[in-house]
Chain A
């Protein structure tokens, strides 16, 4: 009979759930970080949950879907995609010191 409790039978396909900071504090990778101008940002200005392109496009999921959106610089790699996607040009890439 085949033993169903053999240890290797629990190892199937390689899977993972997102874990925060698996690759370390990736925020140190780039000195430039996106700064949101809340005067221009659509949800911040209107006070309504809208747009959120920065949240949607962020490949690192460091932007929150909140009013106003917040960006976690500890893990933001500074790629600038949010700046590119912001329809009202509310985001600019500026040098920020990361501890």
Chain B
């Protein structure tokens, strides 16, 4: 069911009530992807179902390649992208982890593929509910990683992501993430822009590969030696080290391009998301800043006015761009801050919440480095409530006053005390 605004005569711009998944599907339709290969997985499946619908209805002229796994899905995407086609897909959790092997192939070959990720906890134990573990786990493969906080942002970020990924100074794949169920299956009004405006904003892909041109016999991914390669009449080719240097520098430089694309988008379509890499809320006069992503940031935003009424000057920084990590910008932002409370819906298992230690690393060496306190919340879809945020902020203030620096993780929202006399050993006794 779709409720639509009255259409104007000349414009096909309209507001639709859409789930996050369908917002992503509409974006993929409007950027006119040429090839889609995806495999269904909860909670992402409606993205590809909707795209299959668009193709069958003739609303999207794309080749939908049916595959038997996510590994094949991304393999198809890589191959299709190397022919010069615009390519997108979607996945979740173990689907993304099954794609893992192909992720560095996509970034290493500099293929501007976009993955929509409806985030979901990783097993075991089996869970289909959200947390950010799947998103966090792929942080070292060279993809641009962005996180959204509402359905409009999913649509807008997808369109920006293609423009960023396809920029000749970037040429990197990107992942657009949003919380499973909380956004993926929740309906919100989403402005669907004019096709013509989208086309003007996002020109056709000018790829550095075109393997579909058979007049040029060319192979990609040759065995690339540690040293420069003398290719005879082809000249001197880079070694592996040079390729990886170029990829890293492209990532570093993409931050500025990501901000520029965001600004261009907001000028054209009238919607902005902070500076395109993070969003601030009531930060100017704040004594305490909350740092979080996605659903956790949304929840924190919700409670800030209440905390302020109680006399606590709290602000929020919600991170949109996780990779490349905008360390320089965050250093400037947190320069005068006394206390940062980080809420992670993920863990770098064996260490701390990932956002927490990434922020600590980014602020290293600041003359007035803030006190940073991290909390783990909402793993496997456990609700993150207003109370949890308040609890975290209160505890962080106490600890910062005492100057307690600990690297032990602190969980909020655990209900160990309600387990009664639960003893797993009982399950394996006879009887």
- Asked if B111 and A18 make an inter-chain contact with CB atoms under 8 angstroms apart, the answer reads no
Q: Which residues of A contact B209 (CB under 8 A)?
A: 13, 15
Q: Which residues of A contact B257 (CB under 8 A)?
A: 2
Q: Which residues of A contact B169 (CB under 8 A)?
A: 2, 4, 9
- Asked if A12 and B219 make an inter-chain contact with CB atoms under 8 angstroms apart, the answer reads no
Known A-B contacts A2-B257, A17-B234, A19-B232; the reply to A12 vs B218 at CB < 8 A is no
Measured CA separation A4–B219 after assembly (Å): 26
| Minimum C-beta distance from B142 to chain A (A) | 12
Measured CA separation A12–B231 after assembly (Å): 17
Q: Which residues of B contact A8 (CB under 8 A)?
A: 242, 245-246, 249-250
Q: Could you tell me which residues of chain A, from 21 to 54, have a CB within 8 Å of some CB in chain B? A: 22
Contact mask for chain B residues 202-221; partner A; CB cutoff 8 A; 1 contact, 0 none: 00000011000000111111
- Asked if B256 and A14 make an inter-chain contact with CB atoms under 8 angstroms apart, the answer reads no
Q: Which residues of A contact B216 (CB under 8 A)?
A: 17
Interface residues on A, range: 10 to 19
Known A-B contacts A2-B169, A2-B257, A18-B217; the reply to A13 vs B249 at CB < 8 A is no
Known A-B contacts A2-B253, A6-B249, A9-B250; the reply to A15 vs B238 at CB < 8 A is no
Contact mask for chain B residues 110-133; partner A; CB cutoff 8 A; 1 contact, 0 none: 110000000000000000000000
- Asked if B220 and A17 make an inter-chain contact with CB atoms under 8 angstroms apart, the answer reads no
Measured CA separation A15–B222 after assembly (Å): 7
Which of A11, A12, A14, A22 makes the CB contact (< 8 A) with B221? Answer: A14
Q: Which residues of B contact A18 (CB under 8 A)?
A: 217, 219
Measured CA separation A85–B402 after assembly (Å): 80
- Asked if A19 and B231 make an inter-chain contact with CB atoms under 8 angstroms apart, the answer reads yes
Measured CA separation A20–B224 after assembly (Å): 17
Measured CA separation A84–B219 after assembly (Å): 27
Contact mask for chain A residues 52-67; partner B; CB cutoff 8 A; 1 contact, 0 none: 0000000000000000
Q: Which residues of A contact B253 (CB under 8 A)?
A: 2
B243 within 8 Å of A (CB atoms):
yes
- Asked if A14 and B222 make an inter-chain contact with CB atoms under 8 angstroms apart, the answer reads yes
Q: Which residues of A contact B111 (CB under 8 A)?
A: 13
Q: Which residues of B contact A17 (CB under 8 A)?
A: 216-219, 234
Measured CA separation A8–B219 after assembly (Å): 21
Known A-B contacts A8-B250, A13-B110; the reply to A22 vs B231 at CB < 8 A is yes
- Asked if B232 and A12 make an inter-chain contact with CB atoms under 8 angstroms apart, the answer reads no
Known A-B contacts A17-B216, A17-B218, A17-B234; the reply to A12 vs B246 at CB < 8 A is yes
B322 within 8 Å of A (CB atoms):
no
- Asked if A11 and B243 make an inter-chain contact with CB atoms under 8 angstroms apart, the answer reads yes
- Asked if A14 and B249 make an inter-chain contact with CB atoms under 8 angstroms apart, the answer reads no
Measured CA separation A18–B232 after assembly (Å): 10
The interface of chain B, by Cβ under 8 A from chain A, is: 82, 108-111, 168-169, 171, 208-209, 216-222, 224, 231-234, 237-238, 240, 242-243, 245-246, 249-250, 253, 256-257
The interface of chain A, by Cβ under 8 A from chain B, is: 2, 4, 6, 8-9, 11-20, 22
16 pairs across A/B with beta carbons < 8 Å?
A2-B169, A4-B168, A4-B169, A12-B109, A13-B109, A13-B220, A14-B108, A14-B109, A14-B222, A15-B218, A15-B220, A16-B218, A16-B237, A17-B216, A17-B217, A17-B218
Please give me the 9 A-B residue pairs with the lowest Cβ-Cβ distance, nearest first.
A13-B109, A11-B246, A8-B246, A16-B222, A12-B110, A14-B224, A13-B110, A12-B208, A8-B249
